[in-house]
Structure formats: C-alpha cells, structure tokens
Amino acid sequence: MSIMMIREDSAAAGHTEVKADKPLYHRRRILICCGATVCTTIAVILILVIVSLTLFKAKQPTLHVDSVLLSRFSAGLNSNSLLPTIEIVFDLNASVYNPNRASFQYTNSTTYGLYHGSVVAEAPIPAGKISARGTETISTQVSVKADRLLANPNLLTDFNSQFIPISTTTVLTGRVTILGFIKRHAKSTSRCDMVISVSNQTIQNYQCSNKLKL
C-alpha cells in the first residue's frame, strides 16, 4: 500500500512536472532567442560606435578669409553738433572647406569686429550646409558701431597715429552627420588682424589664422 502510494506520488509528480515543463521549455527558447537578438544588436551598435569614433571621426572644417575690403570709411566732426563721427564698414569674404566625407551643417553664426579687445561690430552669417569635401564661400558686411568705437579711450591716440587696428573673429559651429545618423560636433574658427590707414583709407595688411586666440 505504501509502495503504491509512492509510485502514485512519483507518477503524479512526474506528470505534473511534464505538464509544467512544456511551457517552461518554450519560454527558455524565447529567452535564448531574445538574448541572442539583444546581444547581436548591442554588438552591432558597439561596432558602429567604434567605427564612427575611429574611421569616421569628424575633422574640423577650415575657414579661410579670402579678402577684406574697406567699403566705407569716414571720420570727422558733425557740423551741427560738433561731435566726432566715424564710419567703418568692411566686406569680408571667406571660404570654408569641409574635409569630411559627410556634410557639415552650421548654425547661425556671427563675425565679431574687435578694437583693442572690445567688441565693436557684429555681422551675421546665416546658417548653411557644406557638402562632403566641398567648399562654400561666405560673405558678410561688418559695420563698426560708431558709439562703441568713440567710447574707446584708445581711439584718439590711434587716430593721431593714422592707424586703426581692427580684428575680426568668426566661429562656425555645427555638426557633421556620419552615415546619416551619427552626429558629431564640428567647429571652424578664424581670426584676422588688420590695420586701417586713415590717410588713404585702405586696409594696410591683414593676417588671418585658423587658430582663435581671444
């Protein structure tokens, strides 16, 4: 009687075990499947990230100032108020080369005009896009704010010496989109130093570099 009971118990236990095992086995297969998919996905993402970090590393675009032209220059005294007036406007043309195998998209930017370290002009550069390994020309007109220039204590000395030093800085910031979805930040900068000769109203010499030092 006791043997029978044990047999029945084991049989019953075995029966229920088999019953419970079937969906468990299925679940295990699904789990293994899911795990493999997740692992493969992670591996693919890792490979893409490594490839994008090494092979597709974003190179910084180069900004080269092609020309600076003094389009307006006047200085004198207002005949009515007898207050000094000054007008300085120059046109800046630059070319930006994108060395990447992907397009470079830059946001709205500004060219700043500096006089003895103070900002005296702001010229907008509208947002744009430069195709892969392409060059784009950007031109902007920089109008020096007379009040800011006249407020600078160095102006009288510079005016007497007939040479007004002006610097410009341009920073283009944007991103390079690699493989259509990997976005990398990229920046292009340029600084130009020039001297305006008051006597013949020309830009004496300008020197530009791609390294920005403020």
Residue ranges that bind ligand NAG, judged by CB under 6 A: 67, 69, 91, 93, 108, 126-127, 137, 139, 162, 197, 199-200, 202
Shortest Å, Cβ 87 to ligand NAG: 18
Shortest Å, Cβ 106 to ligand NAG: 11
Shortest Å, Cβ 204 to ligand NAG: 6
β strands within 147-181, DSSP E: 163-178
Is the CB of residue 70 less than 8 Å from the CB of residue 90?
Answer: yes
Q: If DSSP codes are grouped into helix, strand and coil, which group holds residue 120?
A: strand
Tell me the two tokens of residue 178.
Answer: 């690699």
- Cβ distance to ligand NAG smaller for residue 14 or 126: 126
- Cβ distance to ligand NAG smaller for residue 59 or 193: 193
- Cβ distance to ligand NAG smaller for residue 85 or 162: 162
The one-character DSSP state at 56 is: T
Q: If DSSP codes are grouped into helix, strand and coil, which group holds residue 99?
A: coil
- Cβ distance to ligand NAG smaller for residue 48 or 186: 186
Shortest Å, Cβ 134 to ligand NAG: 16
- Cβ distance to ligand NAG smaller for residue 56 or 97: 97
| Dist. CA 63–CA 67, nearest whole Å | 12
User: Residue with structure tokens 């020096």?
Assistant: 144
Phi, psi of 149 (to 5 degrees): -70, -45
Shortest Å, Cβ 91 to ligand NAG: 5
Surface-to-core class of residue 172, CB atoms within 10 Å of its CB (0-12 exposed, 13-18 middle, 19+ buried)? buried
